[in-house]
Amino acid sequence: MEERGNISIHTENIFPIIKKFLYSDHEIFLRELVSNAVDATQKIKRLSSIGEYKGELGELKVKVAVNKEAKTITISDNGLGMTAGEIKKYINQIAFSGATEFVERYKDASADKDQIIGQFGLGFYSAFMVAERVEIVTKSYQEGAEPARWECDGSTEFSITTAERAERGTDVILHVAQDSEEFLETARLRTILDKYCKFLPVPVEFEGETINNPSPIWTKQPSELKDEDYKEFYKELYPFSEPPLFWIHLNVDYPFNLTGILYFPKVKNEFEIQRNKIQLYSRQVFITDEVKDVVPEFLMLLHGVIDSPDIPLNVSRSFLQADSSVKKINTYITKKVADKLAEIFRKDRETFEKNWDDISVFVKYGMLSDDKFYEKAKDFVLLQNTEGKYHTLEAYKNLVQANQTDKSEQLVLLYTTDADKQHAFVEAAQNRGYDVLQLDSIIDSHFIGMLEQKLEKTTLKRVDSETIDKLIEKDETKESVLSEGEKEDLKKVYEEAINNKNMTVEVAPLAPDDAPVVITLPEFMRRMKDMNRAGGGGMMFMGEMPDMYNVTINANHPLNQRVLKAEEKSQLARQAFDLALLSQNMLSGAALTTFVKRSFELMTKE
C-alpha cells in the first residue's frame, strides 16, 4: 500500500506560524505526545474490560527514547494503535482541523492572541514545533489489522504506506529540526518529563527507568491514607520545605470532577509567602502552576495539587475566568478550606491555637476578600492579646464588654502593633483593667477596618492614640487640682519648651499616677497615613504631611505642680517632655544628645 495525499486545509504552511507563536512553549510537544500514548494504553484497557478486545493486555507502558546520532526522539506505546483509515481520520482530519482553526484565528489581527491560544490544545501537531519530519508507525489492536506508517514534513502533504510491526501499539518518531537540537539532550528531556509527566497514570520509561509515580495519593481514597502518606507526598512535591501544618483532601465528582490535596504550609511572616506553589493537573497530566482563577486569590498561599478533567487544557487566563466549571471549583475549594479549619478548631482547639500564627494570614486574607468565607471564619478567627491568650470574636467581646464600653455605648477594643515600643501605653491600659490585643502583621490594618465594619457598635483603637481617659471615655469627670489660670500658664510653659508646631499641647486632669506627659498620635490620622503608604486612600497630601501629635500635660501630676513653681520652668518641662519621647522611642540624634547633657547637668546641680 502506498498512498500520497494532501491534507485538505486552506492554509498553507501553518506550522511555521504555530512554531513561531508558541516559541516559549516548544517543550510541551513531549507532554502532548506522551499523554496521547498514555490515552492509547488506557483506551485498550477499557476495550479489554468491556470485552471488545480479547487478546493479552501485557504490561501497559510508554517509552521515550532518544537517538542523538539519528537525531530522533521516539515515543512508543502498547496502546490500541491505529489502522491506516484511523490515521487519516484522527491525524489528518481531526488533529489538523484544530491546528488550522488555530491559524485562521491567529491571522485575525484584532483578536487577543492569548485568548486564541487558550482555546486550543494543539495535541499531536505540537510535534512539528521541534521536528522537521514526523513518522507514525502503528498497528491496531483489531484482528488482522495491517501495520501502517504515516509520514509528514509539516507541509500539507503526507504519505501512508504499509509498515512492519509485530506488536499492537504506536511509535511516534520525531526527526528533530536543527533549531531544536537542544531536545536531543537527555538531561533536557528528563527535566521536561519530570515537569509534565511525573504523575501520569501509566509507567513512563526513559533510559531504562520509570520516571513517574503512576498512582499519586490524590487519586486514592482518603480512608486508605495515613498522615505519613500525606507528609511523604508533600516532601515529594517540595523537597526543601518544612513539613506542612495540615492538609485537605479534595474529592468530588458532582457537579464537576476534582481531586487534589491542599496543604497549609508553615509561614512565619507575609514576606515568606510564595505563590504559585499549587500545581494544576488534568487527569494526572501537569498543566501549569499558575492557578490564578481556579483557586481563590487568598488560597494561592496554599501548596499542593489540584486535578480536574473539567479544567480546559492549554487554557489562557481570560478563557479560564469565563469558564463556569472553574467558577464552581473556586467556590467549592473555598468552602472546603473553611470547613476544614472549622473542624480543626472544633475538634482540636489546642492544635488550632498552636498553628494560629501560621494560618492567621490565610484566614484574615480570606475574610477580607470573600464574604462567604467571612461568614464561616468569623466563628473561628482568633484574637491574641498581649498575654498570649487566644479568644474568638464572640468570646472576646463578652470578655471586655463590661469594662471597655464607653459612654456612648461603643465597645472599644484596644490593640498594640508593637507591645515593646508601646509598652508604656499597654501598661497604662492594663492598669485600668483593660485588655490589649496584639495586631501586628501587615494584614492587620485591613483586618481592623473590616472588624469595625462588620461588628456592631465596635471601634478599635491603638493604645497610644489617646490618653488613657480618652481612649475609652467614661461618664465621669475628673477634678483638676490646678485652677484654670494655672492650667493656662502650664500650657504656655510647655508650648515654649517644646517649640514644635506639630505638637499640640493640652492640659488635662488625668490620674495623679498617670504619666505627667503623654504624647499621642490620633487613630484617624495614623490610619490615613497608613492607607496612603499602602497606596490607597487617594489623599496623596497626607503622605507628605508630618505626624501631628497631641501632647497631654497631666494637671494632677505632682511634677507639673512643681513645674509651675520652679525657677527653671522651661528646662523642667522640656526634660519631662523628652522623657515622654524617650519612653515612646521617639528621641534620637541631636535631641537625644541634648537630653542626656541636660540630665547630667540637672543631676550635678546641688
Ligand X SMILES: Nc1ncnc2c1ncn2[C@@H]1O[C@H](COP(=O)(O)OP(=O)(O)OP(=O)(O)O)[C@@H](O)[C@H]1O
Annotated binding residue 447: no
The residue count for the chain: 606
Residue 101: which of 93, 440, 75 has the closest Cα?
93
Residue 131 binds ligand X, judged by CB under 6 A: no
Annotated binding residue 82: yes
Nearer to ligand X, 28 or 508 (CB): 28
Alpha helix locations (H) across 3-112?
14-21, 28-49, 84-86, 96-107
Q: If you compute the radius of gyration of the chain from its CA atoms, what whole number of angstroms results?
A: 36
Nearer to ligand X, 96 or 494 (CB): 96
AA letter at 154: G
Annotated binding residue 120: yes
Shortest separation between residue 36's beta carbon and ligand X, angstroms: 3
Nearer to ligand X, 35 or 416 (CB): 35
Annotated binding residue 317: yes
Annotated binding residue 32: yes
Annotated binding residue 445: no
Residue 313 binds ligand X, judged by CB under 6 A: yes
Shortest separation between residue 126's beta carbon and ligand X, angstroms: 8
Residue 512 binds ligand X, judged by CB under 6 A: no
Alpha helix locations (H) across 348-443?
349-354, 356-369, 371-377, 393-400, 423-431
Shortest separation between residue 92's beta carbon and ligand X, angstroms: 10
Annotated binding residue 36: yes
Helical (H) or strand (E) element with 559 = helix 558-565
Residue 171: which of 84, 75, 80 has the closest Cα?
75
d(CA 272, CA 399): 34
d(CA 8, CA 578): 88
Shortest separation between residue 148's beta carbon and ligand X, angstroms: 12
Shortest separation between residue 66's beta carbon and ligand X, angstroms: 18
Applying CB under 6 A, which of residues 34, 82, 189, 193 lies at the interface with ligand X? 82
3-class state of residue 12 by DSSP: coil
| Site track 13-42 with ligand X (rule: CB under 6 A), x = hit | -------------------x---xx--x--
SS3 content of the chain, % helix, strand, coil (to 5): 45, 20, 35
C-alpha cell at 279: 500545581
Instruction: Identify whether the C-beta of residue 399 lies closer than 8 Å to the C-beta of residue 385.
Output: no
d(CA 17, CA 361): 46
C-alpha cell at 83: 489502522
C-alpha cell at 525: 490620622
Annotated binding residue 119: yes
- Give the interface segment with ligand X, choosing from 89-97, 216-224, 272-280, 591-599 (CB under 6 A): 89-97
Nearer to ligand X, 91 or 197 (CB): 91
Number of Cβ within a 10 Å radius of residue 387: 10
Residues 100-129 close enough to bind ligand X by CB under 6 A: 121, 123-124
Shortest separation between residue 445's beta carbon and ligand X, angstroms: 47
Shortest separation between residue 91's beta carbon and ligand X, angstroms: 5
Nearer to ligand X, 285 or 472 (CB): 285
Number of Cβ within a 10 Å radius of residue 313: 17
Angle at CA 79, nearest 5°, toward 77 and 80? 140
Applying CB under 6 A, which of residues 77, 135, 293, 464 lies at the interface with ligand X? 77
Helical (H) or strand (E) element with 79 = none
Nearer to ligand X, 123 or 366 (CB): 123
Annotated binding residue 236: no
Residues 477-506 close enough to bind ligand X by CB under 6 A: none
Annotated binding residue 98: yes
Nearer to ligand X, 32 or 466 (CB): 32
d(CA 380, CA 345): 7
Residue 397: which of 474, 310, 460 has the closest Cα?
460
By CB under 6 A, how many residues form the interface with ligand X? 17
Nearer to ligand X, 121 or 537 (CB): 121
Phi, psi (rounded to 5 degrees) for 108 = -75, 95
- Give the interface segment with ligand X, choosing from 87-95, 254-262, 335-343, 541-549 (CB under 6 A): 87-95
Applying CB under 6 A, which of residues 79, 201, 304, 366 lies at the interface with ligand X? 79
d(CA 283, CA 196): 12
Applying CB under 6 A, which of residues 18, 30, 95, 381 lies at the interface with ligand X? 95
Residue 549: which of 464, 435, 473 has the closest Cα?
464
Q: What is the dihedral of CA 39, 40, 43, 45, to 10 degrees?
A: -110
Nearer to ligand X, 170 or 532 (CB): 170
d(CA 75, CA 136): 10
Residue 91 binds ligand X, judged by CB under 6 A: yes
Applying CB under 6 A, which of residues 94, 111, 450, 548 lies at the interface with ligand X? 94
Applying CB under 6 A, which of residues 170, 465, 554, 583 lies at the interface with ligand X? 170
In the DSSP assignment, the letter for residue 385 is B
Annotated binding residue 165: no
User: Which segments within 84-191 are labelled E, that is strand?
Assistant: 131-139, 148-152, 157-162, 169-176
Shortest separation between residue 58's beta carbon and ligand X, angstroms: 15
Nearer to ligand X, 88 or 376 (CB): 88
Number of Cβ within a 10 Å radius of residue 139: 23
- Give the interface segment with ligand X, choosing from 72-80, 186-194, 347-355, 452-460 (CB under 6 A): 72-80
Shortest separation between residue 90's beta carbon and ligand X, angstroms: 4
Residue number closest to ligand X, CB atom:
123
Shortest separation between residue 133's beta carbon and ligand X, angstroms: 17
d(CA 391, CA 255): 38
Phi, psi (rounded to 5 degrees) for 465 = -90, -15
Shortest separation between residue 77's beta carbon and ligand X, angstroms: 5
Which residues lie near ligand X (CB under 6 A)?
A: 32, 36-37, 40, 77, 79-80, 82, 90-91, 94-95, 121, 123-124, 170, 313
Residue numbers belonging to the annotated binding site: 32, 36, 77, 82, 97-98, 119-124, 170, 317
Residue numbers belonging to the annotated binding site for ATP: 32, 36, 77, 82, 97-98, 119-124, 170, 317
